[in-house]
Chains A and B, each alone.
Chain A
């Protein structure tokens, strides 16, 4: 009968552990008791002698029988080809949206959300603070230094300049944020409308909270943050919903690079596949 295949490996030993313990005790004795150092020294010497005999004149080995593992011997064969993405092909790893919402839908959605936000803010001012001009003046304080240092009494009074500035700021911001939402919405994961409606206002409210001290000290002092966030949520949900329902337009991402560079009047992949 043929002898079973085997391999020689270094033999197990506890001497390295004994030397390590000895060295540890030797040092630990410095802060505990000299007897511990003495024990460590003796252990270390004994361990060193044992270790020496393990490796001199020849290192000790043990023989390990070889177990043949057929599964491990058999290589796994897999497909050689790596699937590369090409521009315009749909899929979860496509970086740029193929279709986007038009900018006009962002502006219209922003205006719609802005109207709701204004109603909510004024309603809060009227019901809680007793004056509809309270949120108007707080917003206008961004651009009007006299309102930044005004007391609550003044902030509750009507100011024609304050109203004009607040309307301008609110209009500009509503349209601007609506346009950003329109641009960002196609890049959100699934349930983009919910993401945009709930997550975005929380993020920009946090950003505003962190910077409002410098932008608008009056608002920092007097604004009700819970209601502020609720107004932002109202804005984003309305604007996001309006933008979501708009007709999307195709971007240049689906076009061949030659057409994007203006070299050739080639058709997009979608146009080709439609034919």
Chain B
């Protein structure tokens, strides 16, 4: 008997014996290199992302050591510039994006009840080009000075404003490494986005209508659309920058009739949607975890979907709030301030709905839930400072200060990173078949909460006291010393938290408690198969009748489909 499905029935099938012999001859490493399995690619994305996260995190720690005291010479100014550039670029493009791609890859086929992504080979291509792009970026440390004798790693900040990127100010190939590697990783992200859209629209199992999709899938789907819309302007800008540098095209060179401001427009047309590309999957994770650990269905499912779509649309029209200080017209300022304030509405709806889900529920404070709670508080703080920065005169005062650094770290660390950890604690049992240590998980959470808020909370005060970002040292006596020292002390707590997390990952891999297929008593389809799932995901493709198919399976006397519209 052969339970072929639509993925396979039309394909050319080699004889079973020949394929099994070929499979047996492959080493385990080769199996991973050749894989097109969405689960393995998902794991590879997340592991690669974690490696880049650790490297970029070490850079952040070095930056904080440098700034701990005035007149410090731990890092030189050039090294410092490279550090914050590589830190920012790596965290956004080599940790945030691939980790999201990894989660989406691993979970979406399982959640929509299919065997793989729509284009499995394109999926593998996306991963490898991201990895090679990342390696090229770090190769700049060796390659740039090694062959031409000038330059090193990029040192122009993660948004690489013109004219700093022109040949006159950035000699050698530092900027070229940055542009090319971002171009390559952008191709990988686009491949992933196309794959996600095709999978969700074409490969859902029987009965899974769009309004029965898990919210994780909905939010990753709108993120994929956002990636398709936002990444091409960035890629176009990178190509224009390369044309400027290699052929003297002069797009961003004011002396040859170009415009440096155009670069900012191109970058932020990508850059602000990018913030939502990073945080919407965080919302997706929270929307799965909070209901399970509150023992209640999500509050206001249709409104959550609508809010995600609203965020997607509005986020495409807010980019110039990063550019209030360039001197736009009043109409421009008012438009972008209003659109930025507007985006707080769907975001606020989401926060209220998560609270509504918890309200009256039977809460379980396991590590995934704790990280979601941390996210709620910290992302709220990030949102409030975001609203403050949307007010144009306020932004004029604090643009390029540590207040902005604090704000976006509350979004990306307090928001995204906490949800990534929530996701790891929640789905690790599914991926490995073993539970992560709960006690260590709680230590990890509390150390990170304390460390994170020590490091970045006080940076709001530094910004208000006038400390500009990207300075490698500062004079004593400006009232910055204490806050900088506290900020650096916070790094120690964060480093301890990350070490515990890595220990927990490794230790639980060998010694963790057996998880079983459904350790959290959850409701979405990934928990309907074994842990870890077999390569084909489901022996028989599932059929669903509601948004919580496992609830229906477990409670045939009171299924959800009876209540859902």
* Interfacial residues, chain A to chain B (CB-CB below 8 A): 2-3, 5-17, 19-21, 23-24, 27-28, 30-33, 51, 54-55, 57-64, 66-69, 71-73, 75-78, 80, 82-85, 93, 210
Which residues in B have their C-beta under 8 angstroms from that of A24? 129, 132-133, 135-136, 184
A55, B120: Cα distance in complex, Å? 11
Asked if B194 is an interface residue, CB under 8 A from chain A, the answer is no
Which residues of A have CB within 8 Å of B173? 31
Assembly CA distance A63 to B3 (angstroms): 10
Q: Report the separation of the CA atoms of residues A28 and B178 in the bound assembly, to the nearest whole angstrom.
A: 11
B518 in contact with A28 (CB, 8 Å):
no
Does the CB pair B128–A6 fall under 8 Å?
Answer: no
B529 at the interface (CB under 8 A from A): yes
Q: Decide if A12 touches B35 in the complex (CB within 8 Å).
A: yes
B2 and A6: CB pair below 8 A?
yes
Partner of B8, one of A9, A57, A66: A9
Size class of B's contact patch? 35 or more
Contact at A23–B23, with CB atoms within 8 Å?
Answer: no
In the complex, whether B499 has a CB less than 8 A from a CB of chain A is: no
Interface Cβ pair total, 8 Å cutoff: 179
Taking A12-B31, A17-B34 as given, write out 15 further A-B residue pairs in contact, using a Cβ cutoff of 8 Å, ordered by the A residue number: A7-B536, A8-B7, A10-B121, A13-B34, A13-B36, A20-B125, A27-B184, A30-B176, A31-B180, A58-B11, A61-B8, A62-B14, A64-B536, A73-B539, A75-B550
Whole-angstrom CA separation of A205 from B108 in the bound complex? 50
> What 9 pairs across the A-B complex have the smallest Cβ distances?
A8-B8, A20-B128, A16-B125, A72-B530, A12-B34, A58-B12, A24-B132, A20-B129, A16-B124
Question: Inside 8 A of B19's CB, which chain A residues have their CB?
Answer: 11, 62-63
Residues from 27 to 81 in B contacting A, C-beta threshold 8 Å:
31, 33-37
Tell whether A17 pairs with B124 under 8 Å between CB atoms, given A31-B180, A61-B12, A82-B361: yes
Name 24 A/B residue pairs within 8 A (Cβ), A-sorted. A3-B2, A5-B1, A5-B539, A7-B539, A8-B4, A9-B115, A10-B36, A12-B26, A12-B37, A14-B33, A17-B124, A17-B125, A20-B131, A20-B188, A31-B176, A31-B177, A61-B11, A62-B19, A66-B539, A72-B529, A75-B554, A80-B555, A80-B557, A80-B558
Task: Say if the beta carbon of B535 comes within 8 Å of chain A.
Answer: yes
CB atoms of B121 and A55 under 8 A apart: yes
The answer for the CA separation of A59 and B6 in the assembled complex, in Å, is 12
- CA gap between A30 and B183 in the complex, in Å: 13
A5 to chain B: closest CB distance in Å?
A: 5
Q: Does B207 contact A (CB under 8 A)?
A: no
Contact B36 A12, beta carbon cutoff 8 Å: yes
Minimum CB–CB distance from B405 to chain A (whole Å) comes to 19
Across-interface contacts of A7 in B (CB, < 8 A): 2-5, 8, 115, 536, 539
